[in-house]
Structure 1
Amino acid sequence: MPEPSSVDRLIEQAFDIAVFIDNSLVVTAISVSPDSPSLGRLDHWIGREFESFLNVESREKFAQRIALMRADPDSVPGPIELNHSDNANWEFPVRYTLHREAGSDGLLLLGRDMQPLAEIQQRLVREQVAREREVEKYRGIETCYRVVLEASETPLVLVEPEAGRIRDINSAAALLLGSKRDVLTGSSFAQVFEGQRRGNFIEQLKAAASSDDVTGFEAVARRNGRVVSLSPNFFRASGEVLMLCRLALIEDEDAARPESAQSLSALFEASSDAIVLTDGNGVIRDANEGFLILSDAAQLRDVQGRSMADFLSRGSVDLKLILDNTRKKGRMRSYSAQFQSVVGTRASVDISATSLRGRNADLGVGLIIRDVTPRDAPLVQDSGAAVSDEAMRNVMDLVGTASLKELVSATSDVVEKMCIETAVRLTNNNRVAAAEMLGLSRQSLYVKLRKYGLLNAQDED
């Protein structure tokens, strides 16, 4: 057994506690560092079994370690953490290293007091529990906020004034703007309205929120053309400045009732005919399920933002004729065309178009497209014009009176004349558009019109 004085010096320099036990695991000496007053005086351990001062779990752990050391005397045991319990019914954890004493059957246990670390761990646990309670409290407040926001009949929009984006919106506001909450949340607030640029729109909101005289301003919803009054107010939350904007529908004498508006919306979605809403240049903004079926598109975003010219066989020629006639007359009753889907199939369609105008704003063009393809017709149509039976009979009557070369030339002239007549009719006698449709120059078209006697006296002049 080492001298007590040497054990004390070792404890003071490196360890908080040292315990020497004999072969019977009885404490024969103990020393506690004066820098660890929390351990107290442990002289009453001497002469008693070391295990009697361990709790149940530590006793089993200590017994297993002693058994391994005795089974393999040359092994180097690793550290072991034990929880002590004495007669005063208080516990403290100690991390021990076990050392065999040369020339003795006893063991020297050198330990570090783990109470400070245990207290830190307990404090962390308490902090974690307190944090979880705060999170639960926050979730409860957020739930109340969302319930109140959704239950409100007033259309409300929470806006980030600097970014100009919608932070949150209730269903009443989304319905008023003709969209859904999940679609509008996070999007630009200015893009919800017709003809609004983000910078100018946000400045209007800030001016209205800061002024005592201005109660709000009007804007036209892009999706449904409704005139909406916006009344913004600033507020601060957790140091961040936000804007709460109240919306109100402005109805004039000719405005449709809410029931009619809902019916029209349902008709738009459920109609078997394809319905498309475009801007003034023919770029698709919205379309119903009928158009998606006709165009073989899987979802709205597959066609949204594309030009209607992409779906017409004559492309920009057809679209230009439709838009020009609609702008001049306000509407176009019927226009025959070949519709081309996203996968290349074609169908004969009849298109009617109407210029959409809201309150002091041009809302674009609405198109109704009806599939008029015969049921037994092939999916892919030939773009060439068909030759009439009478014209073919006239050519067949020439058989025997002219050579094959002359017969073919006569047939080509018949087909060419019919194609030119069809192009002039489709373009409402617009020679420039007809030339573009046929892939001819304007001068070449006039030469062929004169050749087939399709120019009237006024054109000749």
Structure 2
Amino acid sequence: MSDRVRVGVLPAPSRIERIIEQFADLAVAIDRDGKVLGISVSPESPYLGCLDHWIGRDFRNFLTEDSRSKFEDRIATVLSDPEAVVRPMELNHADNANWEFPIRYTIHDAGEDYGILLLGRDMQPFADIQQRLVREQLARERDAERFRGVETRYRVVFDASETPMAMVEPDTGRALDLNRAAMQLLGVKTDNLSANAFAQCFEGRRKGEFGEALKAAAAADDAQGVPAVIRRTSSEVRLFPEFFRASGEVAMLCRILPVTDEDQAGRDFQRSLAQLYDSTSDAILLTDAKGTIREANEGFLRLTDAAQLRDVQGRPLADFLARGSVDMKLILEQLERTGRLKGYSAQIESVVGMRATADISATRLNGRSDRHFGFVIREVSATQAISVAEAGATMSEEAMTNVMDLVGTASLKELVSATTDVVEKLCIETAVRLTDNNRVAAAEMLGLSRQSLYVKLRKYGLLDSGSDADEPGA
């Protein structure tokens, strides 16, 4: 035992003791009263420290309370019957430093000369493993309890919701879970759902097609949903799926909303509006706040001789107005000021240069993200255009009559010179009327400066009372 710490009356090295050294981490020799005669600590268990202070003291003093009674029982058995087979015992030691370590001992009666030999195996590594296992088990139990709490809250909220909802696996289209409202609406139970039962809950729906429709609706920006008819009740519903991720897996939550009569009427109205937009002979288009065309119907394409929507989409509406930016400026100013425009007469110029007289109505549309305008453009027939022109000319009928009375009294050159003032006055009146008495816009339309327009308005007596204050230099 030269490689051990050997203290006291343990026998001298021998072949048997070398075997003991290889077997025991701690060897203790005690007399029949329990007094420690000798002790040997294996160098492979250095954390046990130096235990030579045990020599000459009662072995019981270094045992915990619960281990003393166990030691007493086993020693009593050995002393009463040396030939008896005594099972190993596990004792917890506590020394003067107030720290504990477990040792598993086998008891051997060495006779009168050497007393009782206790050969111990250090159980601290096993105790550490057991403690880690216990901590892991407690942690697992806490996690399981927490999971049960979350599962309970989920189930209570899910089933208490009045909105029918289904958890769906996106790849297979299989329903993972239905809440109580969904089961009542569909007339099924969760236990009866098979791999393709969710698609079979609806009339005319196949598993693959239905799954693709749900995924497309979940990925779409607009919440149109997926229409369906419940097989058991023939009731119309609409499914609104949404993707979410749980534990690294993508799942889908589908809200199943019954279609009411009001919803059906609203969709019928939307379909009717869409049909009117596509089939009406009037031109309908939408522009942004600057007058750039976003959408246009077939009527506008016919009016402008455009072959397809992309020929006009993204272009300014002013490109198709004969007076271009002048008309567009007047229209946008009116829309910004009042929010609507009615009966604005303009010349529409097609992509091939053909012109047509049209009546324009427009309104301002305030969307969620930006402001835009809606236009309805109706082509005016030749007869209507003449009537409009005649209506505008009634203001100068007396002047024209006066000119006609001069025929025969003056030369043609003099007659043409006289009619120039009549035509000029008629054009100025028309420009002022078209611009709703906006004289800045009227001057721009006529190609005059603002001062020149005021001079001509004064010349023909077209200034309103009190309008001189607006005249430049007044």
How many angstroms apart in 2 are the aligned matches of 1:5 and 1:77?
26
Shift of 1:56: 2.1
| Secondary structure of 1:108's aligned partner | strand
In structure 2, the gaps of 5 or more residues are 1-8, 265-474
Shift of 1:70: 2.3
Shift of 1:184: 5.1
Q: Which amino acid aligns with 2:258?
A: L
Is residue 24 from structure 1 mapped to residue 20 from structure 2 by the alignment? no
Decide whether the 8 Å contact of 1:100 with 1:106 is kept in 2: yes
Q: Which amino acid aligns with 1:39?
A: L
In structure 2, the residue matched to 1:149 is 158
> Which region of structure 1 is more displaced relative to structure 2, 223-232 or 51-60?
51-60
Q: Structure 1 residues 46 and 250 mapped into 2: Cα distance closer, same or farther (>3 Å)?
A: same
How many angstroms apart in 2 are the aligned matches of 1:221 and 1:73?
86
Is residue 108 from structure 1 mapped to residue 117 from structure 2 by the alignment? yes
Deviations 1:244-278 (A, max 9, x none): 111111123799xxxxxxxxxxxxxxxxxxxxxxx
Decide whether the 8 Å contact of 1:83 with 1:91 is kept in 2: yes
In structure 2, the residue matched to 1:210 is 219
Q: Which amino acid aligns with 1:76?
A: V
How many angstroms apart in 2 are the aligned matches of 1:179 and 1:102?
82
In structure 1, the residue matched to 2:168 is 159
Deviations 1:4-48 (A, max 9, x none): 555985565332110001122210100111221221111111111
Is residue 60 from structure 1 mapped to residue 69 from structure 2 by the alignment? yes
How many angstroms apart in 2 are the aligned matches of 1:174 and 1:190?
14
Decide whether the 8 Å contact of 1:155 with 1:171 is kept in 2: yes
Shift of 1:106: 0.4
Query: Aligned runs of 1:24-423 on 2, under 5 Å?
Result: 24-102=33-111, 104=113, 106-180=115-189, 183=192, 188-213=197-222, 215-252=224-261
Deviations 1:272-324 (A, max 9, x none): xxxxxxxxxxxxxxxxxxxxxxxxxxxxxxxxxxxxxxxxxxxxxxxxxxxxx
How many angstroms apart in 2 are the aligned matches of 1:213 and 1:58?
75
In structure 1, the residue matched to 2:11 is 3
Q: Which has the larger radius of gyration?
A: 2
Shift of 1:108: 0.9
Shift of 1:213: 4.8
| Secondary structure of 2:213's aligned partner | helix
In structure 1, the gaps of 5 or more residues are 256-461
Decide whether the 8 Å contact of 1:164 with 1:188 is kept in 2: no
How many angstroms apart in 1 are the aligned matches of 2:141 and 2:17?
46
How many angstroms apart in 2 are the aligned matches of 1:235 and 1:23?
74
Shift of 1:157: 0.7
How many angstroms apart in 2 are the aligned matches of 1:61 and 1:24?
15
How many angstroms apart in 2 are the aligned matches of 1:236 and 1:126?
31
**Count of paired positions:** 255
Q: Structure 1 residues 62 and 11 mapped into 2: Cα distance closer, same or farther (>3 Å)?
A: same
Decide whether the 8 Å contact of 1:11 with 1:17 is kept in 2: no
| Secondary structure of 1:70's aligned partner | helix
Q: Which amino acid aligns with 2:227?
A: E
| Secondary structure of 2:187's aligned partner | coil
How many angstroms apart in 2 are the aligned matches of 1:150 and 1:167?
14
Deviations 1:169-198 (A, max 9, x none): 112222222345555597721111112221
In structure 1, the residue matched to 2:345 is none
Decide whether the 8 Å contact of 2:106 with 2:120 is kept in 1: yes
> Which region of structure 1 is more displaced relative to structure 2, 177-186 or 97-106?
177-186
Shift of 1:217: 1.7
| Secondary structure of 1:158's aligned partner | strand
How many angstroms apart in 2 are the aligned matches of 1:21 and 1:35?
23
Shift of 1:96: 0.8
How many angstroms apart in 2 are the aligned matches of 1:3 and 1:49?
20
How many angstroms apart in 2 are the aligned matches of 1:4 and 1:137?
61
Q: Structure 1 residues 102 and 157 mapped into 2: Cα distance closer, same or farther (>3 Å)?
A: same
Decide whether the 8 Å contact of 1:155 with 1:172 is kept in 2: yes
Q: Which amino acid aligns with 1:134?
A: D
Shift of 1:215: 2.5
Q: State percent identity of aligned pairs.
A: 59
Q: Structure 1 residues 85 and 8 mapped into 2: Cα distance closer, same or farther (>3 Å)?
A: farther
Superposition TM-score, scaled by structure 1 size: 0.51
How many angstroms apart in 1 are the aligned matches of 2:40 and 2:262?
98
How many angstroms apart in 2 are the aligned matches of 1:169 and 1:185?
13
Q: Structure 1 residues 66 and 253 mapped into 2: Cα distance closer, same or farther (>3 Å)?
A: closer
Shift of 1:103: 5.5
| Secondary structure of 1:189's aligned partner | helix
Shift of 1:78: 2.6
How many angstroms apart in 2 are the aligned matches of 1:254 and 1:201?
22
Q: Which amino acid aligns with 1:131?
A: R
